[in-house]
């Protein structure tokens, strides 16, 4: 039985829902850095905040950030790690309105960097037919771009069949199927300077976007047909190793370890030996770290499609032998992703339980941090009344609580209590930007691959 959070409705797994719970109720969250290792993370990053910002600035100069991103963070009390990085975020309507001025400023800076004389911007969106929450996300994003001083229109990759209960989702906005004119794309009466993608291109890069002269942000090469989570987290591991050496932390405290397998066919039970071997190695590594930090809980591992989104093709195991005993429903669920695309590559990721619990009922929750360019602009808590602290919360029935970001949360306050709200959100922003830096390296990798 589903128990709705107070004052909320139930969105789908896309993560785009209206702000359902007032931001003030975020105070229903409890302090989370109670373990000695967690206190070490918090105190180290807060006290080194000035040096951390300088370190990040040097890296942004060498490797510019993607246009935008969202990062799912898990705070286990003893470690804080990203478990997913989305380069086509679709929950801008979940951000608190107080974050909009930061969004507008960051959008203006990001567009001017690639197109200094930009006047017109084309936003290419997903061709959903029933996801009203996604429509709301697009409307907020359109409004932010327009308030940043740009004329904006909606581009569709194909005609969409709007269901009877969704009347003209783009009403009031110029929109249409994108048209190719030589080396440029736009609408019949709209020639943009640059293009922003809010479509993850799971079906591949459309011909209309190949070899055009306008800048496209983020790069189409970062769509899920080309992108791999294992590659992203490989870059993240290297960045965290460097960061942790510089700031004297154990990198494991900021990193969910992973391994990966290709050529998997769950339906035909092919490749399961690879999954079993890598799961054994991962469980061994996790248990060794748990013993080091005296963590008294059983580890778990999450299996995910290496390419994909929407929280699809995800399952949890507590023992490597489980991969040999999946039932038909589990095999079916792990065999296909968004749009029915088959899954043949799997990432095995260290499970990070969440210590973030909302309200008296202690709903399992996780933080989702939003960034535009290299600026943290806001975020929200993803909560679920029917999921445990170890399960994926990106599932139907999820609810959202806007994070109370403000200008003060973008800077640490070493003179205050270490785990006050400002310092905790600052630390979340640091780890999210490390994941963003990994995405920047991904972008550079794909640019070299497609050059």
Contact in structure between 312 and 337 (CB atoms under 8 Å): yes
Length in residues, the chain:
451
Q: What is the pLDDT of residue 426?
A: 93
pLDDT of residue 28: 53
User: Rounded to whole angstroms, how far apart are CA atoms 162 and 155?
Assistant: 15
Q: Helix, strand, or coil here: 73?
A: strand
> 């808590």: which residue's tokens?
381
Q: In this predicted model, what pLDDT tens digit does every residue of 357-380 receive, in sequence order?
A: 888 888 999 999 999 999 999 999
Report the DSSP pairing between strands 258-261 and 301-305: unpaired
Question: Of residues 164 and 126, which shows the higher confidence score?
Answer: 126
Model confidence at 14: pLDDT above 50: no
Task: Specify whether the CB–CB gap between 107 and 372 falls below 8 A.
Answer: yes
Given a cut of 60, is residue 21 above it in pLDDT? no
What is the model's pLDDT at position 54? 97
Q: How confident is the model at residue 17 (pLDDT cuts 50, 70, 90)?
A: very low
Task: Specify whether the backbone of 93 is left (phi greater than 0), alpha (psi in -120 to 50) or beta.
Answer: alpha
Query: Is the CB of residue 73 less than 8 Å from the CB of residue 82?
Result: yes
Cα 220 to its chain centre, rounded Å, is 17
Task: List the one residue out of 96, 43, 87, 48 whose CA is nearest residue 65.
Answer: 87
pLDDT at 10: 35
pLDDT of residue 261: 93
| pLDDT at residue 30 greater than cutoff 70 | no
Ranges 11-20, 35-44, 340-349: which has the least confidence: 11-20
pLDDT single digits (tens) 212-247? 999 999 999 999 888 999 999 999 999 999 999 999
Query: Could you tell me what percent of the chain has a pLDDT over 90?
Result: 65
Q: Which of 263, 259, 158, 273 is nearest to 207 (CA)?
A: 158
Cβ 324 vs Cβ 276: under 8 Å = yes
> What pLDDT shows up at residue 338?
58
**pLDDT for 123:** 97
Mean of per-residue pLDDT scores for the chain: 87
Task: Please compute the mean of the pLDDT values over residues 8-12 and round it to a whole number.
Answer: 38
Q: What per-residue string of b and e applies to 24-62 under the rule 16 or more CB within 10 Å gives b?
A: ebbebbeebbebebbebbbbbbbebbeebeeebeebeee
**pLDDT per residue over 294-304, tens digit each?**
999 999 999 99
Residue 23 has pLDDT above 60, yes or no: no
Best CA proximity match to 196, nearest among 132, 102, 126: 126
What pTM, to 2 d.p., does this model score?
Answer: 0.91
For the segment 41-55, the average pLDDT, to the nearest whole number, is 95
Per-residue pLDDT, 446: 87
Reported as a pLDDT band with limits 50, 70 and 90, residue 66 is very high
- Whole-number Å distance between alpha carbons of 368 and 70: 6
Q: Which of 369, 373, 370, 372 is nearest to 65 (CA)?
A: 373
pLDDT at 404 over 70: yes
pLDDT at 168: 63
pLDDT, residue 420, reads 82
Q: In whole angstroms, what is the distance from residue 294 CA to residue 225 CA? A: 41
């Amino acid at each position: 039985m589903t128990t709705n959070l107070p004052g909320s409705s139930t969105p789908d797994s896309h993560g785009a829902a209206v702000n359902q719970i007032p931001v003030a109720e975020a105070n229903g969250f409890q302090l989370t850095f109670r373990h000695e290792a967690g206190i070490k993370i918090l105190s180290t990053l807060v006290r080194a905040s000035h040096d951390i910002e300088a370190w990040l600035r040097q890296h942004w100069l060498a490797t510019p950030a993607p246009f935008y991103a969202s990062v799912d963070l898990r705070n286990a009390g003893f470690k804080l790690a990203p478990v997913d990085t989305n380069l086509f975020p679709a929950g801008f309507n979940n951000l608190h309105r107080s974050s909009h001025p930061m969004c507008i400023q960051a959008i203006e800076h990001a567009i001017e960097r690639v197109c200094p004389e930009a006047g017109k911007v084309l936003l290419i969106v997903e061709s959903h037919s029933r996801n009203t929450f996604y429509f709301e996300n697009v409307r907020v994003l359109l409004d932010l771009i327009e308030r940043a001083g740009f004329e904006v229109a909606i581009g569709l990759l194909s005609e969409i069949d709007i269901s009877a209960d969704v009347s003209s989702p783009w009403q009031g906005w110029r929109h249409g199927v994108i048209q190719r004119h030589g080396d440029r794309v736009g609408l019949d009466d709209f020639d943009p300077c640059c293009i922003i993608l809010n479509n993850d291109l799971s079906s591949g890069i459309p011909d209309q976007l190949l070899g055009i002269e306008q800048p496209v942000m983020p790069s189409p090469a970062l769509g899920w047909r080309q992108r791999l989570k294992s590659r992203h987290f490989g870059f993240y591991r290297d960045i965290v190793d460097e960061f942790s050496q510089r700031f004297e932390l154990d990198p494991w405290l900021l990193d969910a370890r992973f391994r990966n397998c290709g050529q998997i066919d769950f339906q035909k039970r092919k490749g399961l030996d690879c999954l079993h071997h890598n799961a054994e190695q991962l469980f061994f590594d996790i248990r060794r770290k748990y013993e080091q930090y005296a963590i008294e809980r059983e580890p778990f591992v999450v299996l995910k499609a290496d390419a994909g989104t929407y929280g699809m093709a995800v399952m949890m195991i507590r023992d490597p032998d489980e991969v040999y005993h999946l039932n038909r429903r589990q095999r079916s669920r792990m065999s296909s992703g968004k749009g029915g695309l088959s899954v043949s590559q799997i990432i095995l990721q260290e499970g990070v339980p969440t210590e973030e619990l909302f309200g008296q009922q202690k709903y399992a929750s996780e933080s989702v941090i939003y960034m535009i360019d290299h600026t943290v602009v806001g975020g929200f808590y993803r909560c679920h009344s029917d999921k445990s602290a170890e399960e994926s919360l990106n599932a139907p029935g999820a609810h959202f609580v806007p994070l109370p970001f403000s200008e003060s949360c973008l800077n640490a306050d070493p003179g205050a209590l270490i785990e006050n709200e400002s310092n905790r959100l600052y630390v979340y922003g640091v780890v999210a930007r490390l994941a963003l830096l990994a995405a920047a390296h991904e972008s550079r990798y794909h640019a070299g691959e497609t050059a």
